[in-house]
Amino acid sequence: MEIPAARDPVSAARDAFDDAVLHVKQFRGETTLVVEPARLPEVLDFLRVSSGLVYNMLSDVSAVDYYPEDYGDEFDGDESDYRPGRFAVSYHILSMLYNRRLRVKVFAAEDDPRLPTATVVWPAANWLEREIADMMGITFDGHPDQRRLLMPDDWHGHPHRRDYPLGKETVAFSFNEAEIRKHKPFAQN
Amino acid sequence: MAVAAQARSIEEQRKWEGSLDELRGLVSERAMTGETMLLNMGPHHPSTHGVLRLLLELDGEEIVTCLPDIGFLHTGIEKSLEDKSYEKALPLTDRMDYLSPMSNNMAYSCAVEKLLDLDVPERGQIIRVICLELARCASHLVWLGTHAIDMGAMSVLLYAFRERERVLGMFEMLSGQRMMSSYIRPGGVWRDVPAEFLPTIKQFLKDFPAKVDDYEALLTQNPIWKDRAQGVGVVEPDVALAHGMTGPALRGSGVNWDLRKAQPYSGYETYDFNVPLGEHGDVYDRYLIRIQEFRESMKILNQAVARLETVKGPYRSENRKYVPPLRSELGQSMEAVIHHFKLWTYGYDAPDDEIYSAIESPRGEIGCYIHGTGANKPRRVHFKTPSFIHISALPVMSSGYLLADMVAIIGSVDIVLGDCDR
């Protein structure tokens, strides 16, 4: 069987989705493709099935919070400083056939961050996105399982956010026990 | 009176169970009517290899689906890493996959090296390969022993742990620690191998192949073992790929993908070894692959030990902007003192950009994503761990098999809950 020649993922994605590719970045030999959030599943599916690309495996999904620094400004041309939203989710995809990786990145806004789910493209995205929803507080629309993954179901807040207060668990004394218990509905008998 | 007591206990039981509605869509409709049974396995079940809870939906003895519940061992390692300089964060990575800490060190170190563009001298790379392959043996030995004990073969555990103790002894020789070694560091390894290490590993390499034969004699052709393992937990290659499975679990389905071959790191491309592949994708094939990986690791170790004797030179990068100087230099060089002080207090700055780097651990691909801040602490470190992915794939691996097979399936994908929950 003849293997079709490898295509450049950036130009292929630009040809297919001209308006959806917002930005392209190279760093240490890794290519990052920033796409429009609403069209993420389409782009991922295109990269997965198109001949010459065949990114057949989802290696990792990771989220980053740009909280204390500037984000949401006008893009000033500095490659590493392209940050239109507070949160970014990166899909690291791998093409076994052509032995190369690609990062597809989407940004989400600070208020009520929402992204479409990639579970329709890869079932592997299920837990990886659930982890992000739990730890970063990004809602994945259409995700089949919206429960928390790592933290307890009655937990408040999203620990991996950069503004999540680092502290300790309040010690329960008789004067504040009722107050603490109110926040832990599942921990009672 | 008796009826009232019974009614109350049912009432209390209902209260304790919670509502079925939150599981709607996750379990089949038959569970809603009570036609199939929902049963908890774990979190303290001995064969779940840690604290894993599985909510099983059972039709008689057959598994309809299972909902893994993780997070019991969540220790916030990724969050803690954000508060430490790059070098000081390393010991935390040991604690994720506590059965092969060296692989975690390697995944993290490779990622930091990529982010900083840091070199690793040849001797350092050879020592790393030795450590990684020893870690693979040690991890597979724990897997072999616990997997066998889960399926009722008691004695294998004792033999496997006997050999593992020798590997851990070698780790202690190298790093001063049996398990949480923190030996592989960005730029190379912590220190050179001590003089007594080479004779010890040579003796181990002489003895170990016969021990692997012993394990095989106990299990490979054992009819009970074959009955329990063959045709159980079958994963088709396309399903394995769609669920992101890696390592022996993927190769058991016949997909030839090993990062040591495909995207070599630490000089793996210069070693001669094979990648064992399975055909059926069942528990038995995954067992055979790991047994053969013992032998392939021995091949790599023999080559690496031979090289270690000839290749001299530094074992850690001499880029003093990132790697602290030797203790012996501190008495003679003012610059060394400055570097020492700077690197152990502040650390070093890394670019405000992101990288992803992956290595082949005993369980599969460990990926490390680091996003720097431009200062001495990362903005975000994320580990893609094989156990996490494999537990998320448990429902497709187990549905349609019997409850007793669940134990075999969990064992065959070799999960570590510390690795999964981080």
Contacts 24+ apart (CB under 8 A), B13-17: none
Q: Do B49 and B107 reside in the same domain of the chain?
A: no
Answer whether A168 touches B (CB < 8 Å): no
Q: For residue B378, give the nearest of B96, B1, B112, B9 by alpha carbon.
A: B112
Contact A27 B379 (CB under 8 A): no
CB of A155 less than 8 A from some CB of B: no
Pair (B152, B16) in one structural domain? no
Instruction: Inspect the interface and report whether the beta carbons of B354 and A151 lie closer than 8 Å.
Output: no
What is the domain-level CATH number for residue B285?
Answer: 1.10.645.10
Q: Is residue B369 part of a domain?
A: yes
Run of H or E including B357? strand B354-361
Range of A155's domain? Answer: 9-187
Alpha carbons B250 and B210: distance in angstroms, whole number: 28
Look-up of token digits 């399926």: B151
CATH code, domain with A53: 3.30.460.80
Residue B238 lies inside a defined structural domain of this protein: yes
Instruction: Note whether B53 contacts A: Cβ–Cβ < 8 A.
Output: no
Residues in chain A: 189
Any domain includes B60: yes
Top residue of A65, A102, A127, A130 to mutate, by most chain B CBs within 10 Å, is A127
User: Do B93 and B107 touch, CB atoms closer than 8 A?
Assistant: yes
Could you tell me if residue B81 is inside a domain? Answer: no
The answer to whether A150 contacts B355, with C-beta atoms less than 8 Å apart, is no
Specify burial of residue B187 (Cβ count, 10 A radius: 0-12, 13-18, 19+): buried
Q: Which residue of A has its CA nearest to B242?
A: A122
Domain with B51 in it = 2-69
Q: How many Cα neighbours within 13 Å face the side chain of A174?
A: 0
Q: What is the pTM of this model?
A: 0.89
Q: Residues with Cβ < 8 Å from A108, sequence gap 6 or more?
A: A37, A85, A86, A87, A88, A89, A114, A115, A138
| CB within 8 Å: A59 and B351 | no
User: How far apart (Å, rounded) are the C-alpha atoms in residues B297 and B307?
Assistant: 15
Domain ends where: B44, B69, B94?
A: B69
Helix (H, G, I), strand (E, B) or coil at B278: coil
Distance CA B420, CA B418 (A): 5
CA distance B198 to chain A (A): 36
Q: Do B241 and A162 touch (CB under 8 A)?
A: no
Residue B310 is assigned to a structural domain of this protein: yes
* Domain limit, last residue, from B42, B69, B96: B69
- Pick from B18, B147, B109: nearest CA to B381: B109
**If you ran DSSP here, which 8-state letter would residue B331 be given?**
T
Per-residue pLDDT of chain B (422 residues; tens, 9 = 90+): 445 555 555 555 555 556 777 777 788 878 777 788 888 887 877 776 778 888 888 888 899 988 898 888 888 899 989 889 998 999 999 988 888 899 999 999 999 999 998 889 999 999 999 999 999 999 999 999 999 988 888 889 999 999 999 999 999 999 988 888 899 999 889 988 999 999 999 999 999 999 999 998 988 888 988 888 888 889 999 999 999 999 999 999 989 999 999 999 988 999 999 999 988 889 999 999 999 999 999 999 999 999 998 988 899 888 888 999 988 888 899 999 999 999 999 989 988 889 999 999 999 999 999 998 888 899 999 999 999 999 999 999 888 899 888 888 988 888 888 888 88
Query: Residue A123 falls within a domain, yes or no?
Result: yes
ipTM: 0.85
Could you tell me the maximum CA-CA distance found in chain B, to the nearest angstrom?
89
**How many domains are there within chain A?**
1
3-class SS at B27? strand
**CA dist list (Å): B9 to B2, B6, B16:** 11, 5, 10
B63 plus B103 within the same structural domain: no
Question: What is the C-alpha to C-alpha distance for residues B321 and B236, in angstroms, rounded to an integer?
Answer: 49
Can you give the length of chain B in residues? 422
